[in-house]
Amino acid sequence: MTYSPNAPMFKPTLAYARHQFAALLQDQAQGSGNFNTYRQAILEEIEALRALGLPVNDWSVKKATSSKERQQLPINVDAFAGTYNHGAVMIILMIVGCFLRVGDEIRAEKWLRAALWLENLLVGGGKKLFEERYKRILDKTAVQAFLKIIESYYVLSTGV
């Protein structure tokens, strides 16, 4: 299926194709250890999110430096479209996994917070339900361990 330039932002077939291409790139990067291939996979996943109608604010794939940049979510939380689904959350989790592979925990955390925010918007249930719903992908991509590290950091730093 092709889309005209005037087609709505929601293009699920294009999102699926971009996501599948990103998965191939991730497999290739895993075999070669090439960080640039992981970064290319991240960009393809971001394009998949755009095709699902999710506005992305942060397209960068290099390490974040400013504290302001670290705090902002990489997606536009003010422009909600009813077309979002759990597929977008899964794509975001793949982005998190890629950032972890290239050693960029700052961007991984930003995207993980975006996944949690989107899941809460779509389903609710907080972090516990999020962990249950996405257990397989969290374990497969090592995001589960990263989530625990972030959680313990916030508990230690905030005392909450």
CB hemisphere CA count around 127 (13 angstroms): 7
pLDDT tens-digit series, residues 121-143: 888 888 889 889 988 888 877 78
pTM over 0.75: yes
Per-residue CA distances from 33 to 14, 38, 69 (Å): 27, 8, 27
The values of phi and psi at residue 143, to 5°, are -75, -30
Q: Is residue 157 over pLDDT 50? A: no
The count of other CB atoms within 10 Å of the CB of residue 30 is: 13
3's CB contacts (< 8 A; 6+ apart) are: 11, 14
Q: List Cβ neighbours of 90 (8 Å cut-off, separation of 6 or more).
A: 134, 137
Question: Model confidence over 12-52: pLDDT tens digits?
Answer: 899 999 999 999 999 999 999 899 999 999 999 999 999 99
Helix, strand or coil, per DSSP, at residue 2: coil
pLDDT (0 to 100) of residue 60: 84
Which segment, 1-5, 66-70, 76-80, 107-111, is predicted with the most confidence on average? 107-111
